[in-house]
Structure 1
Amino acid sequence: MRLETGFIVAMLIMSSFSCSRKQHSIYSPSLLMLEDSLDVIPEKSVRQILEIDTSSLRGADKAFYYFLLVKAQLTSDAPELLLDKSDVALSHFTKQKDSARLCQLHFFLGKIYSGRYAFLRANASYSQAERFAEKDSGMMFAIKVGEAYIYRFKMMHDMEEKCLEHALDIASEMKDSTLMAEALHELAELRISEKNYTEAGQRLCKALSILPQKEFSARAEYNKDLSRVCLAMNRPDSALFYIDIALQNDHSDEFELTCNVLKGNICLKMHRLKDAERLFLKNIEKLPLKEKQDVYYKMAQLKKEEKDFQVASEYAERSIRCRDSLEANNKAGYISNLNAFQEHERQQRRIANMNTKISEQEISYYRLAILLSLMLCLGISIVLRIKQAKKKVEVSLKEKEQDMVRLQNNQWETEVKYLQEKHNREAIQIESLNQNVEYYKRLNALTVPILMKSQNSQGAMHLKKEEWDIIIQNTDACFNDFTFRLKEAYPQLTLEEVRFACLLKMEFSLSLLSEIYHIAKGSISRKKMRLKEKMQIENMTLDDFIKQF
């Protein structure tokens, strides 16, 4: 059980270690150790970095090596290293999407360019670092302080103050008293450059009040600057007090040198000439040229006040030599910076030309894309129009087919209707014929007995007026007032002719008619012909006309 528990714990430790080092796994452990040691022992680490054989490094390690070279140049007094290889590291970190190291590398480059007075490059590097800083508040603080230094050199105090106030806000959000004190110290430096010593002193006092006691080096620096402020405000006693406190907090030789010069100026202000001379000449050869020139100049002034003109002349000559050396160094630096600036301008022009070419290519691509799009749209519109025309034709054909179908249906309906009407007419005719048959049966049933009564003993028929009236009445009753209609249509007919028409309407045979009129059948036919001519009947017989009337 214990063995299993130990195994599980070991696995958890290994997995957590592998997760924590996941982003570093592609680099050599020795290079990663050098990265950490650069912050602790920079001189030794720089020597180790320079001794590395780059030919044995693979791609990722070589890019990381160039990153270490840039950091080494920033964190130590190493000689200036070539920065052209930094592009390799930038490209590698970009591919790896390592935003943290991209931010650091751009920040290091910004600091280096700023130290070389290549402020355009420095500003561009700081901007890139800010883009990759994301939520790294500490890095954002350092970037804003670096940008403020550039604006200080350019005498753009408003922009410098804006950057420093931003840095102070970041430090306040982080609740980091050390960074807050640093921001206040930088704001005090700004006020000193503006000769606003009162506010500068207030800023420095506030910085000292919030700075942790363990930050001895920073406290020494702030007290030294507070001493400078007091000296500028003509308060030499306070200045001497603060410079002594500064020396108590930092015992390094370099810091003591700068403090001795400041303390000498304080003694000079207090007319303690011997103390001032002792402090000025103490380790004077270790001072930078600028401060050495200033010390020699002040010593010359001091000896001049003491009427020791020969020594004053010697100090003045030394001051002039330091000034000439300083000007020569500055000239070399200016030339180097000018060359760097010109190289930067050439690079910017090349970049601008490349961007112009790329823009022209993009414009060409866009034009081609637009042309292809227009052609595609034109083709699509043509296809759509063809489809629409085809659809219209199909719709037209369909409508024509529907019209043809409707016409055929109408024709069929008309034919059916015609046939129906014809059938109805035939039915009516049949019914009429049936009615006529019935009428004839009834009429014959009424008329024949009358005729039979009028026969004499020899069989001859002699109809009286009353009998003719009965025949006419029966005919009118059966055939819808036949005689009235006939007289109205043919008023020229006589009563005898109307009676004859009634007999024809009842469709009596020729033999019966010849018996009624006591004439031959031929005479009956001629009688019909005369009546037809009188009625002006054409294209049909009298019998058919009377039957239809």
Structure 2
Amino acid sequence: MLSDLEKMQNQPDSVLSSLQQIDTTQLNVGDKALYIYLYYTSLALQNKLPESNTSLEKARVYFEAQNDSSKLCRIYYLKGKINHQHYYLIKAQDDYETAIQYITPETDYRLLIDLKISMSNLYHFYRIYDREEQLLEQACQLAIQHKDSKLITRLCLLKSNLMKEQKLYQEALSYLHDAQNYAETSDTTQIAQIYSESGIVHLLLLQTDSAYHYLNLAAQTDKQNPLYRLQSVGLDAYIHQKEHAIDYFWKVIEMLPLDKRILAYRYAAEEMKKQGKMNESRKFLEEHIRLRDSTYYGRKEELLERMQNLREYKKQQERILQVEKNLSDKEVLLHRVVAFFAIIILASFLFYYRTKQNKNKLKIQLLRTEQERNQSDLKRIEAEIQYLKEKEEKETIALARLNQRLEYFKQLNEITIPILMQNRNKAGALHLQENDWTIIRNNTNACFDHFTERLKKLYPQLTEEEINFCCLVKMELPLSVLAEIYHIAKGSISRKKMRLKEKIGIENMSFDEFIASL
């Protein structure tokens, strides 16, 4: 029998077959208990646990008397599994927690992982997702420690399903990628499952191309499973908006487990409604409602469990009453007083705990609000500092340009004004020759980046004389000097500027401002 225990993990079928050939009527109490232990263990490895745990209870009594912690740990785990599959969740949780108490350093790590997975399933049912995630992570670390790639892959799939349940799709994809890295290449069934789950998550992210890629990989990897092929073909028909896509939807959904089928009908109804296909949407919705109503049988199981718990509670109360009758009135009164004060203390403690918890939550909320306000003020101050820096940089650049411009004018006037003054006649009037205008234009082009060429290119309608006038304006010569050069009054110079402004088509600025901007 001990050799059966060693072979059980690798060859559960052959061990079970060997156990079934043993004549248990010839076994003593110890061997009978060991037989039951091995028999239930091999059934659990094949997911074939029986309806009742009566025989297992006999083995528990024996090994408890022997104080065999390793076997008691597995027995309580198996009892929890049986109660769990019959939805006796409170009993199952008690059995799992009792199994934890019998864990020793020699306990098989695979049993520890199975125990954590089973408890995480309970917390999933209770919707305590943080505790479920914690248990799965502990199990995953244990599997990584023992380099068990098959268990690591299984746990990554479970963690992915948990993330998908909470609509954390990117995290779900990350766990699926980890599962793909750890999966054994020879296990095509598991690899196909990973591809299928990846396709479903991509579909939830509305990434239809990626979803089709993974579903198609699943169909190619496990050709024996018709569900994968239907998923792939159905999604392809949906992407290309083919009429028979709905038929594939029906076939795929009907092959899903009941809980997933209910959700699938609802999602399909919503999608058909978005596409304006109201008849198909109504059919999917009716099927969703029908299946949802049919799942109320689960409530019946829960009610039966509560009735059973109530019966046990009544029996317990009857035993208590019987004990109380055998006690003296003084002892009964003392017990009642102690129980009363215990309840008062417990209620006071619970009230204090709840009050303190609420205060802590309020403090945390206030601290978060204060932190958010401080962060907002800090960002605003940083933005103001950045704005002032940019403003200072712009002002510095503008000042540098202004200084450069003043320097240009200074150099230009230093060059040009002496030339102009040399051309005064005896009467003091200015007379500029052609070579003088050439010098003025060359100086202007040198200081203002080929000013005359750019002006002529932009406004070819200007004459040479008008371009010469624009050069003098560009040098910002006063009206008095311009009047001396052209032998006209200052008012005539202003009118000359107005005529050129109209000729060029300047709007919203003066002629001097326009020339200065070129």
TM-score by length of 2: 0.51
Name the structure 1 match of 2:29.
59
In structure 2, stretches of 5+ residues that fail to align are 332-518
Q: 1:45-444, aligned counterparts within 5 Å?
A: 58-67=28-37, 70-71=40-41, 74-76=44-46, 80-135=50-105, 136-253=108-225, 256-257=226-227, 259=228, 263=232, 266=235, 270=239, 272-274=241-243, 276-282=245-251, 287-294=256-263, 309=279, 317-327=286-296, 329-342=297-310
Once the two structures are TM-superposed, the CA of residue 205 in structure 1 deviates from its matched residue by 0.9
- Does the 8 Å contact 2:83/2:89 carry over to 1? yes
| Total equivalences in the alignment | 322
Q: Deviations over 1:41-88 (max 9, x none)?
A: 79x859x95x99876664335434543564466455658521233221
Structure 2 counterpart of 1:191, one-letter code: M
Structure 2 counterpart of 1:117, one-letter code: Y
Change (3 A) 1:104 1:248: farther
> Whole-Å Cα distance in 1 between the matches of residues 17 and 244 of structure 2?
42
- Does the 8 Å contact 1:148/1:164 carry over to 2? yes
Q: 1:36-47, aligned counterparts within 5 Å?
A: 39-40=12-13
SS in 2 for 1:134: coil
Q: Which moved more, 1:225-234 or 1:287-296?
A: 287-296
- Does the 8 Å contact 2:81/2:92 carry over to 1? yes
Name the structure 2 match of 1:487.
none
> Whole-Å Cα distance in 2 between the matches of residues 338 and 221 of structure 1?
37
Structure 1 counterpart of 2:204, one-letter code: A
> Whole-Å Cα distance in 1 between the matches of residues 317 and 231 of structure 2?
48
SS in 1 for 2:139: helix
- Computing the radius of gyration from Cα coordinates, the structure with the larger value is 1
- Does the 8 Å contact 1:172/1:180 carry over to 2? yes
Structure 1 counterpart of 2:63, one-letter code: F
Change (3 A) 1:36 1:232: closer
Once the two structures are TM-superposed, the CA of residue 264 in structure 1 deviates from its matched residue by 7.4
Structure 1 counterpart of 2:33, one-letter code: A
Change (3 A) 1:353 1:79: same
Identity %: 24
- Does the 8 Å contact 1:189/1:200 carry over to 2? yes
Name the structure 2 match of 1:416.
none
Once the two structures are TM-superposed, the CA of residue 145 in structure 1 deviates from its matched residue by 2.2
Once the two structures are TM-superposed, the CA of residue 90 in structure 1 deviates from its matched residue by 0.9
> Whole-Å Cα distance in 1 between the matches of residues 261 and 129 of structure 2?
29
> Whole-Å Cα distance in 2 between the matches of residues 283 and 158 of structure 1?
32
Q: 1:16-55, aligned counterparts within 5 Å?
A: 23=2, 39-40=12-13
Once the two structures are TM-superposed, the CA of residue 151 in structure 1 deviates from its matched residue by 1.8
SS in 2 for 1:234: coil
Name the structure 2 match of 1:547.
none
Q: Deviations over 1:196-237 (max 9, x none)?
A: 211221122122123332233332222222222211221121
Once the two structures are TM-superposed, the CA of residue 251 in structure 1 deviates from its matched residue by 4.1
Change (3 A) 1:228 1:140: same
The Cα RMSD (Å) is 4.4
Change (3 A) 1:88 1:177: same
Once the two structures are TM-superposed, the CA of residue 162 in structure 1 deviates from its matched residue by 2.0
Q: Deviations over 1:395-416 (max 9, x none)?
A: xxxxxxxxxxxxxxxxxxxxxx
In structure 1, stretches of 5+ residues that fail to align are 1-20, 365-549
Change (3 A) 1:226 1:340: farther
TM-score by length of 1: 0.48
SS in 1 for 2:185: coil
- Does the 8 Å contact 2:216/2:229 carry over to 1? no
> Whole-Å Cα distance in 1 between the matches of residues 276 and 115 of structure 2?
50
Q: Deviations over 1:81-120 (max 9, x none)?
A: 2123322111223344544433322222223333333333
Structure 2 counterpart of 1:39, one-letter code: P
> Whole-Å Cα distance in 1 between the matches of residues 250 and 159 of structure 2?
33
- Does the 8 Å contact 2:116/2:136 carry over to 1? yes
Change (3 A) 1:316 1:108: same
Q: Deviations over 1:318-371 (max 9, x none)?
A: 4444333332x3233333443455467668x589969x99xx9xxx9xxxxxxx
Once the two structures are TM-superposed, the CA of residue 123 in structure 1 deviates from its matched residue by 2.7
SS in 2 for 1:282: helix
Change (3 A) 1:243 1:53: same
> Whole-Å Cα distance in 2 between the matches of residues 66 and 106 of structure 1?
13
Structure 1 counterpart of 2:241, one-letter code: R
Once the two structures are TM-superposed, the CA of residue 174 in structure 1 deviates from its matched residue by 1.6
Change (3 A) 1:63 1:248: farther
